[in-house]
């Protein structure tokens, strides 16, 4: 491929180091100029950030960690309150509602949008998926559409929000990533934040189910 035919590096990705955003990183790697990880003091921040660094180094993508610790100080959520506060059981609305960090995606997208415009980039990528809709208001299609409109209207260059997994299941994302050669053993999902995935919190249950439904071997180390 000639140099002039290479895709334009025009995108910023909100990248946690989890399964979904890592898949998107690989899927859009030819267009991603910058990966942003937000440290808001979650229980699993260090584990996720280590995975994010590894994949960005592997792909040669610039990676920045932005501290937003005010979210832990001022917003109530079991996600920032220690491992013992995380509920166990299935990934469902009533069980997982305590893990909501109010307007988290709205805050991260606003910062990413500002970063994109400051660097002359055109797109902000986020890896919310269909399984999040019942639990997290800032993952739903209506939110994505509204934020896209706000970003487009609020920037000179009309920065766009791209959320290609909004209507996909986690198992469909696993299938995509497997085809791309993603090493899912180097991703982290557990909300408790231990050295190994606990195997019993909602996100671990969701992760297990996604690999099983996709028919893909799960490389994750679980305590249970």
Q: What distance in Å separates the CA atoms of residue 224 and residue 52, rounded to the nearest whole number? A: 25
Token pair recorded at residue 130: 């269909």
75-84 contacts at long range (C-beta below 8 A, 24 or more positions apart): 75/101, 75/102, 76/102, 77/101, 77/102, 78/191, 79/42, 79/43, 79/191, 80/40, 80/41, 80/42, 80/43, 81/43, 82/43, 83/43, 83/192, 83/193, 83/194, 83/198
What CATH number has the domain bearing residue 175?
3.40.50.620
C-alpha pair distances (Å), 192 with each of 9, 89, 101, 179: 35, 13, 15, 29
Q: pLDDT tens, 161-209? A: 999 999 999 999 999 999 999 999 999 988 888 999 999 888 899 999 9
Q: What is the pTM of this model?
A: 0.90
Location of structure tokens 């996720």? 48
In a domain, 1, yes or no: no
How is residue 4 annotated by DSSP? G
pLDDT value at position 201?
85
Output the six-digit token pair for 12.
């910023």
User: Looking at the domain assignment, is residue 41 inside a domain?
Assistant: yes
Domain that residue 20 falls in:
9-214
Residue 120, CA distances (Å) to 11, 38, 62, 117, 149 in order = 9, 21, 15, 5, 18
Residue 119: φ, ψ to 5°: -105, 5
48 within a domain of the structure (yes/no) = yes
40 and 101 Cβ atoms separated by less than 8 Å: yes
What is the number of other CB atoms lying within 10 angstroms of the CB of residue 70?
11
- Residue 1, pLDDT score: 45
Residues in the chain where the model's pLDDT stays below 50? 1-2, 82-83, 85, 91-95
58 part of a folded domain: yes
- Could you give the CA distance from residue 17 to residue 56 in angstroms, rounded to a whole number? 9
pLDDT at 193: 86
**Domain-located, residue 177:** yes
Number of domains the chain contains: 1
Burial class (CB in 10 A: 0-12, 13-18, 19+), 15: buried
Q: Does the residue 2 lie in any domain?
A: no
pLDDT of residue 198: 92
């Amino acid at each position: 491929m000639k140099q002039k035919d290479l895709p334009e590096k025009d995108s910023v990705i909100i990248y946690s180091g989890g399964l979904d955003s890592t898949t998107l990183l690989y899927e859009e790697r030819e267009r991603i100029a910058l990966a942003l990880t937000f440290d808001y003091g979650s229980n699993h921040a260090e584990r996720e950030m280590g995975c994010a660094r590894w994949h960005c180094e592997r792909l040669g993508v610039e990676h920045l960690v932005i501290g937003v610790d005010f979210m832990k100080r001022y917003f109530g959520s079991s996600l920032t309150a220690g491992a013992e506060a995380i509920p166990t059981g299935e990934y469902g609305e009533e069980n997982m509602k305590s893990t909501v960090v109010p307007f988290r995606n709205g805050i991260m997208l606003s910062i990413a949008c500002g970063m994109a415009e400051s660097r002359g980039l055109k797109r902000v990528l986020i890896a919310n998926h269909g399984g999040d809709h019942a639990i997290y208001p800032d993952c739903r299609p209506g939110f994505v559409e509204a934020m896209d409109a706000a970003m487009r209207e609020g920037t000179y260059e009309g920065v766009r929000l791209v959320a290609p997994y909004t209507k996909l299941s986690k198992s469909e994302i696993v299938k995509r990533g497997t085809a791309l050669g993603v090493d899912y053993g180097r991703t982290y999902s557990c909300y408790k934040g231990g050295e190994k995935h606990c195997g019993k919190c909602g996100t671990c249950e969701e992760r297990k189910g996604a690999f099983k439904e996709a028919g893909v071997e799960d490389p994750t180390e679980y305590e249970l």
